[in-house]
């Protein structure tokens, strides 16, 4: 399938004032799963340039909070319920700052993180798998019991193993692919809900 850089979602994003076409993936997944509610605290990993942040900020409203993290700088927003951090989500200090900015445990962790592709398939897939684990690790640190994780993945041999890891921490795990995902892309999302902290983590 040919890669169309400026498809209908790209054009729609420009018209609707979204910073990226990715906004429509979250809009679609929200309609499907109702993953974000008014007043929620949300973490958005791999948030640049900020389409998901715009969607999430509207959904949580003035009483909620969305913290966006990316390796790249994100242009500031006027919305007071969006906080931004530049850095590697893997970094302990960044994870501490997410916690501080959030003002409490998160209701939902979103991860649309994707590596800069090298063109070397195995290396790129290995990095994607690393980012999946990273998103799970952040979710385990920051989610309230019952919270949820939406994480971008790509079709690979690792999927069963990652799905099994998710099932150890969440009551239910499903795979989903929004229509707004680029045609021909092997990307999809895991939606894991009903976070069950390990007893030691819950006690601390």
Ligand X SMILES: C[S@@+](CC[C@H](N)C(=O)[O-])C[C@H]1O[C@@H](n2cnc3c(N)ncnc32)[C@H](O)[C@@H]1O
Nearer to ligand X, 119 or 199 (CB): 119
Does the footprint of ligand X cover residue 89 (CB under 6 A)? yes
Q: Which stretch binds ligand X (CB under 6 A): 66-74, 117-125, 179-187, 193-201?
A: 66-74
Q: Which of 57, 66, 112, 173 binds ligand X (CB under 6 A)?
A: 112
Among 13, 42, 43, 47, binds ligand X (CB under 6 A): 47
Using CB under 6 A, which residues numbered 2 to 31 contact ligand X? 19-20, 22-23
Taking the complex as a whole, how short is the minimal distance between the CB of residue 47 and ligand X, in angstroms? 6
For position 52 contacting ligand X by CB under 6 A, the verdict is: yes
Residues ≥6 apart with Cβ < 8 Å to 49: 19, 20, 72, 74, 75
Tell me which of 105, 114, 126, 144 binds ligand X, using CB under 6 A.
Answer: 114
Q: Which string of x and - marks every residue 115-144 that binds ligand X (by CB under 6 A)? A: x---------------x-------------
Using CB under 6 A as the binding rule, whether residue 70 contacts ligand X is answered as yes
Distance CA 184, CA 163 (A): 22
Task: Give the residue closest to ligand X by C-beta.
Answer: 46
Kindly state whether residue 72 participates in binding ligand X, applying the rule CB under 6 A. Answer: yes
Give the other-Cβ count within 10 Å of 157's Cβ. Answer: 8
Q: How many residues bind ligand X (CB under 6 A)?
A: 24
Taking the complex as a whole, how short is the minimal distance between the CB of residue 196 and ligand X, in angstroms? Answer: 25
Is-contact 142 98, C-beta < 8 A?
yes
Q: Assign residue 81 a region: left if phi > 0, alpha if psi is -120 to 50, beta otherwise? A: alpha
DSSP class per residue in 93-133:
HHHHHHHHHHTS-EEEEEE---PPP-S-HHHHHHHHHHHHH
| Catalytic annotation, residues | 152
* CA gap 61, 70 in Å, rounded: 22
Residues 43, 138: contact at Cβ < 8 Å? Answer: yes
CB 57 within 8 A of CB 66: yes
Kindly list the residues in this chain that would bind ligand X in the complex (CB under 6 A).
19-20, 22-23, 45-52, 69-72, 88-90, 112-115, 131
């Amino acid at each position: 399938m040919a890669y169309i850089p400026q498809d209908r979602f790209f054009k729609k994003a420009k018209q609707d004032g979204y910073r990226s076409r990715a906004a429509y993936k979250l809009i679609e997944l929200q309609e499907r799963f109702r993953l974000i509610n008014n007043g929620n605290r949300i973490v958005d990993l791999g948030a640049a340039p900020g389409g998901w942040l715009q969607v999430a900020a509207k959904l949580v409203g003035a009483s909620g909070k969305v913290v966006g993290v990316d390796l790249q700088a994100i242009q500031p927003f006027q919305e007071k319920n969006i906080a931004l951090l530049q850095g590697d989500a893997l970094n302990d200090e960044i994870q501490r700052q997410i916690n501080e900015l959030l003002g409490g445990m998160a209701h939902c962790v979103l991860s649309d993180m994707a590596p800069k592709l090298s063109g070397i398939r195995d290396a790129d897939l290995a990095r994607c798998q690393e980012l999946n684990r990273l998103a799970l690790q952040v979710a385990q640190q920051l989610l309230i019991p019952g919270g949820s994780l939406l994480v971008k993945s790509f079709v690979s041999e690792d999927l069963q193993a990652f799905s099994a890891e998710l099932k150890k921490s969440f009551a239910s795990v499903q795979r989903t692919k929004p229509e707004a995902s680029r045609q021909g892309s092997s990307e999809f999302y895991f939606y894991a809900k009903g976070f069950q902290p390990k007893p030691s983590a819950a006690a601390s």
